[in-house]
Structure 1
């Protein structure tokens, strides 16, 4: 049975702000606050490269669960995405409220914004 679906490639996203929810859990060295390995970010980067030239991308993501040692802010994830993407990635230590809202409003096509850990 064939399932019909609409992909982001089927929609005109030029000039739009695109909100995506992704899992970028990564292996974290807690002592150094560094990402050891990030296969989920490696999978995300080609999608971002495909979409961000015409659109602004807002990323909602998480790292671990509350109470776990590796439940941290996503600022190091933003740096890792930036490194792999080869362009700046903005980060706000907020998921809703004035800071996040203002950062989203100011986002322009070609820019990427990572919101803080949503868990």
Structure 2
């Protein structure tokens, strides 16, 4: 079966929503990231989107668990690994996130806050139902 890959598209000048898994081990006392493997695994994909406006999204832990944190430290780790500036916004679908997305230039990267801040991100959805979520409705137009 033949299928398309990221290499089959030209993303230059496009805004790309890149959902990744950067859910890392967190020290329960210091809340510091103790393992960066999942962040490191995103780098090849990010680099292949070099000329795009990249909006990254991930989750960290679950509400109520000790490893539930913002994505701010993840942004700093990613910035260090890539050697490029990562803009972090402590919002997911609100006005602050939407404004930061609109300000992106080609080659810039924005990391949204923990997706689990959105209540709907704590549920399982089928593909068609996921496309109807509030997050998709608000961000797809950008």
Which position in structure 2 is the counterpart of 1:16?
Answer: 14
Q: Which aligned runs of 4 or more in structure 1 are off by greater than 6 angstroms?
A: none
Q: Distance in 2 between matches of 1:4 and 1:64?
A: 35
1:1-119 alignment runs, 5 A limit: 3-52=1-50, 54-119=51-116
How far 1:32 moved relative to its partner?
2.7
The count of corresponding residues between Structure 1 and Structure 2 is 116
**TM score, norm. by length of structure 2:** 0.78
How far 1:31 moved relative to its partner?
2.9
Aligned-CA RMSD value: 1.1
* Structure 1: gaps (5+ residues): none
**TM score, norm. by length of structure 1:** 0.92
More moved, 90-99 vs 32-41: 32-41
